[in-house]
């Protein structure tokens, strides 16, 4: 008996920041950002809103879509790299904010591959009988990660406050990665009960720890004493460092490889796939994946232009939109694929159950 997705929901913040808005705080243009990333705009939460808040909103929307109550959930799996606090993780906060019982609530940290790993964990729990209903949610609030001053935030959100030359230079220094990210969350409700050949059919998940420096945050870790220092913050060790070229080459090769592996294990072929829901990191990566698969944007769609990279939120947000648009119906074969910091990557195959007669 396989695991099937019975409900989806998303949480998208109201604050829209376009590429033009970013040009007010750094040396960039809409053309520069679009040609390098595909991002046209992204969303940010209001100050004081955490990833647990977005996650709870997405979970409640998914439960409503599934026609289920929070009290019917047996397991909650949360994926984020931007938790509300260093400790604890957000799973307990989401459990409390959604009114779930005192169930098992997991925090997983596979960054951009977090939701994919969460699906696999949910399937293991459901297939083994350890749970009957599981919720997986990916949620990110990247705004606090960005190295922008209060004046920069005021200006980028439409205010008229001037920023200093130092702020403008600092924002420009970090533009290669800061223009990529946005806030958002997506959730899925899964139950056991798929018929033969339906639901989650298999997965192929991998980790290559030797590649952890492709994208990482070198500071504010507990091997340092103390783990946060003023000198470290001054040196920007709390901000991401990224090997863009290395990420591109690995993601473009390894996501399709993982997809081919799981297809072979399930007796399916690439031509059987109707749609690939790939991590929305960068449109250049997505185009590279399309070339590897030999398909176009219809089969490997993108929504990064509207949201930016929402890390653990990209897969469920895109899947929800495809489902709402009628792109995922009874019998649709979906390939989920992701690559992220760690380096964690993989793919999973899912067939939407046939509609009830």
CB environment 191-209: b (16+ within 10 A), e (fewer): bbebeeebbbbbbbbbeee
Q: Which of 142, 279, 320, 344 is catalytic?
A: 279
> Would you put residue 238 in left (φ > 0), alpha (ψ -120 to 50) or beta?
alpha
Average pLDDT of every residue of the chain: 96
- Residues 10 and 87 placed together within one structural domain of the fold: yes
- Are both 36 and 7 inside the same structural domain? yes
**pLDDT of the residue at 357:** 42
DSSP 8-state class, residue 89? -
Tell me: do 139 and 285 sit in the same domain. no
pTM of the model: 0.97
Q: Which of 19, 171, 282, 309 is catalytic?
A: 309
For the segment 61-76, the average pLDDT, to the nearest whole number, is 98
Domain end: 194, 226, 254, which one? Answer: 194
Q: Using the predicted structure, report yes or no on whether residue 341 has a pLDDT greater than 70.
A: yes
Could you give the maximum distance between any two Cα atoms of the chain, in Å? 65
Q: Which of 112, 142, 171, 335 is catalytic?
A: 112
Place of tokens 């749609």: 275
Is residue 196 very low, low, confident or very high in pLDDT (cuts 50, 70, 90)?
A: confident
Residue 67 belongs to some domain of the structure: yes
Establish whether 279 is a catalytic residue.
yes
Q: Long-range contacts made by residues 27-32, C-beta under 8 angstroms, separation at least 24?
A: 27/168, 27/172, 27/175, 28/172, 28/175, 28/179
Q: What span, in angstroms and rounded, lies between the C-alpha atoms of 154 and 142?
A: 16
Closest CA to 114 of 280, 351, 315, 301: 315
Crossing angle of helices 114-127/314-324, nearest 10°? 70
- For the question of residue 112 being annotated catalytic, the response is yes
What confidence score (pLDDT) does residue 20 get? 97
Total domains in the fold of the chain = 2
Report d(CA 273, CA 28) in Å as an integer. 38
Structural domain includes residue 357: no
pLDDT at 356: 52
* Residue 316 confidence (pLDDT) above 60: yes
Query: Tens digits of per-residue pLDDT, 210-267?
Result: 999 999 999 999 999 999 999 999 999 999 999 999 999 999 999 999 999 999 999 9
Range of the domain at 209: 199-351
3-state secondary structure of 78: strand
pLDDT, residue 193, reads: 85
49 domain residue, yes or no: yes
Task: Give the per-residue pLDDT at 297.
Answer: 94
Query: How does pLDDT run across 123-139, given as a tens digit for each residue?
Result: 999 999 999 999 999 99
């Amino acid at each position: 008996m396989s695991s099937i997705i019975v409900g989806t929901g998303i949480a998208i913040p109201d604050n829209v920041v376009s590429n033009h808005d970013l040009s007010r705080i750094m040396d960039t243009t809409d053309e520069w950002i679009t040609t390098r990333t595909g991002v046209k705009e992204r969303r940010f939460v209001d100050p004081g809103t955490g990833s647990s808040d977005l996650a709870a909103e997405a979970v409640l929307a998914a439960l409503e879509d599934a026609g289920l109550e929070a009290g019917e959930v047996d397991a909650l799996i949360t994926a984020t790299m931007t938790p509300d606090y260093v400790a604890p993780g957000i799973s307990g906060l989401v459990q409390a904010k959604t009114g779930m019982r005192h169930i098992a609530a997991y925090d997983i940290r596979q960054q951009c591959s977090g939701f994919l790993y969460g699906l696999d964990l949910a399937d293991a729990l459901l297939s083994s009988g350890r749970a009957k209903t599981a919720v997986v949610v990916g949620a990110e609030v990247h705004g606090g990660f960005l190295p922008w001053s209060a004046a920069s935030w005021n200006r980028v959100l439409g205010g008229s406050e001037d920023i200093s030359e130092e702020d403008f230079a600092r924002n420009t220094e970090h533009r290669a990665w800061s223009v990529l990210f946005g806030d958002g969350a997506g959730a899925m409700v899964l139950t056991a009960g798929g018929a033969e050949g339906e639901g989650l059919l298999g997965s192929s998940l991998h980790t290559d720890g030797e590649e952890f420096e492709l994208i990482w945050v070198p500071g504010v870790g507990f091997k340092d004493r103390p783990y946060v220092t003023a000198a470290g913050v001054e040196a920007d060790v709390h901000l991401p460092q990224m090997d863009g070229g290395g990420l591109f080459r690995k993601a473009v090769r390894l996501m399709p490889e993982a997809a081919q592996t799981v297809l072979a294990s399930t007796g399916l072929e690439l031509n059987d796939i109707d749609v690939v829901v790939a991590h929305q990191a960068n449109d250049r990566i997505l185009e590279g994946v399309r070339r590897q698969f030999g398909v176009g944007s219809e089969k490997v769609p993108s929504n990064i232009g509207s949201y930016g990279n929402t890390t653990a939120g990209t897969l469920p947000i895109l899947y929800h939109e495809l489902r709402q648009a009628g792109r995922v119906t009874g019998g649709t074969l979906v390939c989920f694929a992701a690559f992220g910091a760690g380096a964690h990557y993989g793919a999973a195959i899912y067939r939407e159950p046939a509609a009830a007669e």
